[in-house]
Every structure is written in structure tokens, then in C-alpha cells.
Structure 1
Amino acid sequence: MTQASPDPKASSPTRAAADTGLDDADIAVVGAGVVGTACALELARQGLRVRVLDSDAPGMGASFGNAGHLATEQVFPIADASLLKRIPGMLMDPQGPLRLDWRYLPKATPWLMRLLWNLRSSPYRHSVAGIRALNEASLAAWQELLSSIGRLDLLCGHGSLLVHEKAETADALEASAARFAAQGVALERLSGEEVHRRVPELSERIRGGLFFPETGHVIDPHRVVQALVEAAEAAGVRFSRAVVQGGQADAGGVRLETSQGRLTVPRVLVAAGAHSAPLVTALTGVRVPLDTERGYHLMLPREVERLPMAVTSLERRFIMTPMAEGLRLAGTVEFAGLERPPRMERAWRLRELAQGMFSRHLDETDATPWMGFRPSLPDSLPVIDRTGPEGRVWLAFGHHHLGLTQAAITARLVGRFSSPERESTEMALPSLAPYRLARFAR
């Protein structure tokens, strides 16, 4: 994703940038991940001239390596009340499913304290309601978006499974089922025999599970972004490689300092994922408590047809998603910031977790690891808003591990900023109230 300046107050780079003047775009989108590209396409379809800026090729950030699961069932925040007692284990176990780098602890502590504050009853319910509102509209929004560009083949709407292996975890699975059901999440309880009937390759140790019929997965997240880019370019969107180093917004427009020079546009949409905070602060004055979940995956290219749907393990706490190029193992999370190098042993650890899930060994030949940055806010809700002088600063970031899931519905919401009248003629959209930037301005 687009890297912003470490100092959000620095509105100009060290060396004077060339002034490229007033761009002919109506809006610049900063970030060419799945959220940014989906928004760019939506805005172009409404007649806006759109320019997308990113330091990398489209879809090469977190969008490249996500689990591919359209996780509409995941309506709960990224942590619960058990987090506090788990912090020592997060610090001590470098291979645990949730790791906190002890060197990053001083910087992470304010964010963690805000996270814990949001686990109180009232804000927690508020977060659940906000996540659920987006998720309930997400699958239909994706189906409509991909259908509109003739690429519905990229989406598999076969549902997904959460399975368990141990007798002692049956109660935990049932408790999860009750929590999901209480939030209106559609599910079916399956016995071990029923799980094996649907997914014969799973180990006989699987004792049962939950099937979520209103979920799905994409066959390749990067292909999805590429398809959106092709459709966006056909609609007139221009994609440019540039680092956005700072900016300023006022009644006259938005001036962006980039590695290619100074750019002036009427509006900007910040959709730069985990790198959004410095630019948001420069443009709005609001310091957003944005951190990152460093997510890892391991891709097994020789396992193309092992699973028919995404499968998550309750005990092992990871997910396996079938894709066009193989089987993707994902789910391990690390809090270590944006600067530290990846610990790829965490990705390789996923193969050990996966081997016990199947009736026969996985083929690990040519397996490839990956790490990316998921943008995380302490209330587990994204920022989707129109703000700044005369509403010139538009925002769509902070979706944590639901960026892919919520990208299409986020694009629909951003589209409301330029065409609010569409709300009355098309599908009902969630209220923007839970996702406003102002919640961090206090």
C-alpha cells in the first residue's frame, strides 16, 4: 500500500517537489488495494474523473495475501475480554497464533489500552452492531460488483466451515454457535459424519463443526483486484505509481506532496490501509489510533483441489482456503508495527497446523510464505467518512482482517458521498454513523 510520511505534519518533502499544478481528476484515491480500486471503479461509474496513487502496483499490499474468505460471519471485534490474561503468552510465545513483539510493546500500549476500553459492554455492542451492518450487506455487494464486470467466476459462494477435533472443545463450539446465532448469523450445526460428507479430505479426528451458508471465498484476491483495475481503467480511471508524502486540504482544494511532484485536486479519498494515519492527520488534524495486524500466509501450489470451501480450525486457530493457484493457509497474527522485518517462520508454522487436519499428507512442494499489514483500529470498525474543508477529504480505511469482505460495500458507501440520491433507488445501505472519523477527534 502507499507509504505516507513518518511525520504527518511535514507537508513537503526534504527536496522541493515539482509543482504539477491542478490535476484534471475530480478526485485522487490514495491506495490501490481492494478497497481503493473498488471505490475508484464506483466513483468513475458516477462520472467522476479518478486518479489512483500507490507506491506499488495495484493489489500488491495486504490485498495480495489475505485469506480470501468473505467472512460475513465474523461480526465480533478483533479481541474480547480474555485478551488481558493472554498478553504474557503473546509476549513469550513467538510462534503462537497471536503474538506481540516485546520490542513493540511500548508503542503498542496506548493502542492496546484503547482496545481494552472498547471491550466494555456498551462500546463492544456498538462495535458488533457496526461490523454486522457492513457484513450483512457484503456478500450481495460483492456478487453485484463482480457480476457487473463479468467476473462472477472469481467468487465461490459455497459457504465455509468452522470445525473442532477434541471432545473438550464441543462446549466452546456450541458457545460460539450461540453467540453467532444471537447476532443473526445463519449457521448449521454439523456432526463429524456430516462434516466428512461435505469435505471428505478432512481427518477423521474432526468431531463436528458449524457451516455458515451465507459466506464464501474468492479464488485469488490478487486476480480480484486486477479485474477491478481493468474495469476501472475501461471507465477512465488512471493508476499512477507514486509515494504520497503529505498533504493539505482547504477550501481551495487538496494539495498532495508525492514522489512525482505536488498534485492539486478538488477531493481526495484516503484508502491506504495500514499506512493511512499520517496522511489523515495531515489533511484533517485528527490523530487516528491506527495500528497493524501483521498477517501471514503459506501458499501450497500443489493442493489445488483439496477443499471445496474455506475451513477454519477452532483449536488451531487458522484458516485454509482453496484457490485457483493452490491451498492458502492463513490466520496467524502479529503485533510488531510497520518497520520490523517479517518473521517468516510464523508462515511456515502453518504447514504443521494444517497437516493434522487431513486424512492424507499435504504436498508442500514449492510452498511460498507471505506477510502483509492489516489496518486495525481499537474499536474494530473502519473509518468511512466525508470530512475536511467543504467535505473534500474522503476516507475508507481501517477494515482490519475484513478488508476483502467489506470492500464492495465500502465502495457503495463511498459512492454515496458524490451521489446521495442513489440510496433511495438501490439496495439499502448501512448508516455511516458508526464509521465517522469524529469518534477519534475527542
Structure 2
Amino acid sequence: MNTAPEEIVVVGAGIIGICVAANLAEAGERVILYDRTGICEETSSGNAAALAFSDPLPLAHKGMLRKLPGWLMDPLGPLAIPPAYLPQLAPWLFRFLKAGNPKLFEAGLNAQAALMRLAESEWAGLAGRAGTAGMISSNGAIDLFESEAEFRGSLPGWDAREKLGIPFEHVAGSRLAELQPGLSPRFTHGTFQPTWKQVADPKLFGQAIWAYAEQQGARFERATIQALEPGGNGTTIRFKDGTTRLARRVVVAAGAWSHQLAAGLGDRIPLETERGYNTTLPPGAFDLKRQLTFVGHGFVVSPLTTGVRIGGAVELAGLKRPPNYARSKAMLEKARQFLPGLKTEGGREWMGYRPSLPDSLPVISPAKRPGIFYAFGHGHLGLTQAAATGRLIRDLLLAQTLPIDLQPFVANRF
């Protein structure tokens, strides 16, 4: 084992770990990033590419509780839970239902909104410094509704956004057709979010941010970490190959696997895995002007420089079950109906693991054991909130003044 402590170790090379490393390296810290595969190779590579700053509503408050029974009846619908996994999921699901309590709404909404405001400013800064601002577009996004009743069911959420000063525009008819030509006429209403942003391709964008972090002195090493063991001189890192290293400080940003390392440190964090599916079609599959969300069906269509990505939905099924690509095929078939001119040939299917906590807020906080910090559990918003998380973790490690209150994000809140 190395007896001299290593630099700050970041566990996980997804977009959260990348932004943590970039912020620390900018501050002059020696940083090494470990991941079992590579830079932005897993869940962060296949997301919808959105910087969803205008979407602060906790998942339990998005009308999901009302729709839940109907969705669960459809194994290929917006939300699926394999029956055999339900006993294991039950404690998390109980907490999720509890998070939908109206009394908790304002606290969760305000915490998420504060993190979103910070995320927007931090991404503007980091992307500018990294030279990646040209990889971000500002075309907005549209939520689409198939009836007056479905549209009216969404209004409480828009009212909450309005109170936070988030701009939006309810649209229909010619205005909706102007914002996105070629939509099926089944969509009668839409809501345009002008401040929604999109990255060109999430994998390429994350790797470009990492290239900047490397310029600042951060290093990467491919390795699988099995355990963290805090001690008087730092934290011993145990790798799968049997080797160990000593780190001064450690940041756990391993996405859906983070709670396993946290459990070994005495922190029981109820993280669950939302398995998301998508199909990426070749460039030119459809003239998509901006991201579209098919609200009643729980999936989105995203314009990337590398193609058209169709995906989303939620499968609460843990880390071990094999992928069920019938889910991505079902979304692709729906997209063909919703966008009649869509060319569905030549697509590439994918499945990733979103790390989700019951209250839809991430963990950004010190661990129970000294010298270890957590940055995980962002659910659908990892890319959106990554730059803010990197800034907050840097400030925590360097004992600097924090720009927002982190109490809603502490590890022991459960």
C-alpha cells in the first residue's frame, strides 16, 4: 500500500465526478478520478442531453402519484416495476409516496429551485472556461398534451414555476405548429419553456469538460473501487484487484452504485435505480427543432448533433436484472405515431441507471466519516446539476462559503 496520501480521489467518471474534478483542479488541488470503464462512458453518455433549469418540481409532485396506478398496469408504459422486485423496492416506494405529501412540497420545490439557479450560473461559467459553450444550444423545449383535461392537469406545476419566476408559454394551434412542424394532430396543447437548454451530445460534452479538467492537472485511472476505509492518516481505498491506496479526501460520485460504498461507511441512503431506455436514430431522422416531452407517455425526443434520441420512462428494477429492450421499442413505435415523418431505421438501443432518491433531491454533503464527501442521487437531473454540484463539493472541501443552504441535501436526512 502507498504510505503517502494520494491527492483528492473522486470515485466515478460520470458528469458529476467530471465536474467535481474540474472545480477542484481549477482551485489548485491535486485530483485523481477513478472509474471502472472510462470518462462519461456509462449513464452520463446516454441521457436526453437536457440542461433542464426550468424543471424544479420533485418527481412525486409531477402528477405521477395520480397516474401511478394506470401506468403500473402497462409493463411497457412510463413506469414499470417487475413484480419480483417489488418487495425489495417497497421501503423506497414508501418514502417516495411520503415525499408526495403536500406539506413537503414547498420545501422540496424551493431546495430544487435554488440548486437549479446555481446550476444555470455555474454551467455558464464552467462551459465558458472550458471552451464548450458552443456545444450548448438554447432552443427551449415543449411539453405536449393530448387533451384539454391533460393540459389542465399540468397547470398546478406551471403555477409553481411561475411563482419562482420561471418563464413559459402555453401554446396551441398555429403557434404549436410553428415551434415544431410535423407533429401529430393528436397533440392539442403544449407548453414552451424558453430557458431549457440542450448539449450537442452528452458523452462528447462530458469528455470535453474532462479534457479541460486534465488541462488543469486532474488525472484519470481506470479501476474498480470495492471499499473505502477511513483512518487517522486518510482513507484507504481498496480496489478490486487487491491493491490499496491512501487518499487525503474522497468524493463518492459513483451514481447508482454510490450507496453501496456509503453503506460500508455507516451511511444508509435509500438510493434506487431508475433504469432508463432510449433509441438513438441517425442524423436526419426528423427535423426536430427542440426537445419534446410527451407528458402522458413519460418520454422525450431530443435533437443531438449525433442523431435523434428517443427515450426516458422509468423502470424501477435495480442493478442486476437484464435490460428489457421491449421498452425502448415501445417508445420508438409511439414516437413514429407522434411524429409521422420520423425515420425509425438504423437506431441504436441503450439502457442506463439513474441514481434516484425518494424526495428527488441529491445527496451533496459530508459523509458520517471524516474526509469523505457525497455527490450522487441526481435522478433525471445529473447533467443539469453537475456544475453546481462540482462547485458545492469544492466549497465543502475547501471550507469556503456555500452559495446555497445544503441542509436539504445532507446524507442523514432520511
TM-score, reference length from structure 1: 0.88
Question: Does 2:248 match 1:266?
Answer: yes
Q: Which residue of structure 2 aligns with residue 162 of structure 1? A: 143
Within a 5 Å distance, the mapping from 1:409-424 to structure 2 comes to 409-421=388-400
TM-aligned CA distance change 1:301 to 1:309, over 3 Å: same
TM-aligned CA distance change 1:315 to 1:45, over 3 Å: same
Tell me the distance in 2 between the aligned counterparts of 1:114 and 1:165.
Answer: 31
Unaligned 5+ residue runs, structure 1?
A: 1-18, 424-428
Cα deviation code 1:392-420 (max 9, x no counterpart): 01110000111111001111111112344
| From 358, 375, 389, the counterpart of 1:396 | 375
Shift of 1:376: 0.8
Shift of 1:137: 2.3
RMSD: 2.0
Q: Which residue of structure 1 aligns with residue 358 of structure 2? A: 378
TM-aligned CA distance change 1:108 to 1:192, over 3 Å: same
* Between 161-170 and 360-369, the greater mean CA deviation after superposition: 161-170
Q: Which residue of structure 2 aligns with residue 288 of structure 1? A: 269
Q: Which amino acid counterpart does residue 439 of structure 1 have in structure 2?
A: R
* Between 143-152 and 175-184, the greater mean CA deviation after superposition: 175-184
Tell me the distance in 1 between the aligned counterparts of 2:353 and 2:362.
Answer: 15
Shift of 1:86: 5.4
Shift of 1:189: 1.6
Within a 5 Å distance, the mapping from 1:66-85 to structure 2 comes to 66-80=47-61
Q: Which residue of structure 1 aligns with residue 223 of structure 2? A: 242
Question: Does 2:414 match 1:435?
Answer: no
Shift of 1:353: 1.6
Q: Which residue of structure 2 aligns with residue 177 of structure 1? A: 158
Q: Which residue of structure 2 aligns with residue 230 of structure 1? A: 211
Q: Which amino acid counterpart does residue 265 of structure 1 have in structure 2?
A: A
* Between 187-196 and 296-305, the greater mean CA deviation after superposition: 296-305
Tell me the distance in 1 between the aligned counterparts of 2:159 and 2:63.
Answer: 18
Tell me the distance in 1 between the aligned counterparts of 2:68 and 2:12.
Answer: 32
Q: Which residue of structure 2 aligns with residue 16 of structure 1? A: none
Task: Tell me, yes or no, if the aligned pair for 2:13 and 2:40 is still in contact at 8 Å.
Answer: yes
Classify the secondary structure of the residue corresponding to 2:303.
strand
Unaligned 5+ residue runs, structure 2?
A: none
Task: Tell me, yes or no, if the aligned pair for 1:165 and 1:206 is still in contact at 8 Å.
Answer: yes
Q: Which amino acid counterpart does residue 435 of structure 1 have in structure 2?
A: F
* Between 50-59 and 123-132, the greater mean CA deviation after superposition: 123-132
Tell me the distance in 2 between the aligned counterparts of 1:262 and 1:298.
Answer: 39
Tell me the distance in 2 between the aligned counterparts of 1:333 and 1:412.
Answer: 29
Question: Does 2:46 match 1:65?
Answer: yes
Task: Tell me, yes or no, if the aligned pair for 1:376 and 1:400 is still in contact at 8 Å.
Answer: yes
Q: Which residue of structure 2 aligns with residue 366 of structure 1? A: 346
Percent sequence identity is 35
Question: Does 2:391 match 1:406?
Answer: no
TM-aligned CA distance change 1:90 to 1:189, over 3 Å: closer
Q: Which amino acid counterpart does residue 249 of structure 2 have in structure 1?
A: R
Task: Tell me, yes or no, if the aligned pair for 1:304 and 1:324 is still in contact at 8 Å.
Answer: no
| From 99, 104, 107, the counterpart of 1:123 | 104
Shift of 1:23: 4.5
TM-aligned CA distance change 1:110 to 1:31, over 3 Å: same
Task: Tell me, yes or no, if the aligned pair for 2:32 and 2:218 is still in contact at 8 Å.
Answer: yes
Tell me the distance in 1 between the aligned counterparts of 2:131 and 2:26.
Answer: 15
Shift of 1:33: 0.1
Task: Tell me, yes or no, if the aligned pair for 1:29 and 1:51 is still in contact at 8 Å.
Answer: yes
Tell me the distance in 1 between the aligned counterparts of 2:309 and 2:31.
Answer: 33
Task: Tell me, yes or no, if the aligned pair for 1:297 and 1:329 is still in contact at 8 Å.
Answer: yes
Classify the secondary structure of the residue corresponding to 2:358.
coil
Shift of 1:305: 5.9
Tell me the distance in 1 between the aligned counterparts of 2:230 and 2:76.
Answer: 44
Shift of 1:317: 2.4
Task: Tell me, yes or no, if the aligned pair for 2:60 and 2:99 is still in contact at 8 Å.
Answer: no
Task: Tell me, yes or no, if the aligned pair for 1:177 and 1:210 is still in contact at 8 Å.
Answer: no
Task: Tell me, yes or no, if the aligned pair for 2:267 and 2:367 is still in contact at 8 Å.
Answer: no
Tell me the distance in 1 between the aligned counterparts of 2:9 and 2:154.
Answer: 46
Shift of 1:54: 0.8
Tell me the distance in 1 between the aligned counterparts of 2:112 and 2:259.
Answer: 21
Tell me the distance in 2 between the aligned counterparts of 1:364 and 1:341.
Answer: 24
Shift of 1:175: 4.2
TM-aligned CA distance change 1:233 to 1:170, over 3 Å: closer
Q: Which residue of structure 2 aligns with residue 15 of structure 1? A: none
Q: Which residue of structure 2 aligns with residue 13 of structure 1? A: none
Task: Tell me, yes or no, if the aligned pair for 1:173 and 1:209 is still in contact at 8 Å.
Answer: no
Cα deviation code 1:23-50 (max 9, x no counterpart): 532x100000000001001001111111
Q: Which amino acid counterpart does residue 264 of structure 2 have in structure 1?
A: A
Cα deviation code 1:356-397 (max 9, x no counterpart): 222x421112101111100011111101012444x4011100
Tell me the distance in 2 between the aligned counterparts of 1:52 and 1:417.
Answer: 18
Q: Which residue of structure 2 aligns with residue 4 of structure 1? A: none
Classify the secondary structure of the residue corresponding to 2:319.
coil
TM-score, reference length from structure 2: 0.94
Tell me the distance in 2 between the aligned counterparts of 1:87 and 1:203.
Answer: 26
Classify the secondary structure of the residue corresponding to 1:22.
coil
Shift of 1:232: 1.3
Task: Tell me, yes or no, if the aligned pair for 2:273 and 2:354 is still in contact at 8 Å.
Answer: yes
Shift of 1:314: 2.4
Q: Which amino acid counterpart does residue 112 of structure 1 have in structure 2?
A: L
Cα deviation code 1:116-136 (max 9, x no counterpart): 222223333222221111112
Tell me the distance in 1 between the aligned counterparts of 2:251 and 2:151.
Answer: 46
Tell me the distance in 2 between the aligned counterparts of 1:151 and 1:96.
Answer: 36
* Between 411-420 and 59-68, the greater mean CA deviation after superposition: 411-420
Classify the secondary structure of the residue corresponding to 1:276.
helix
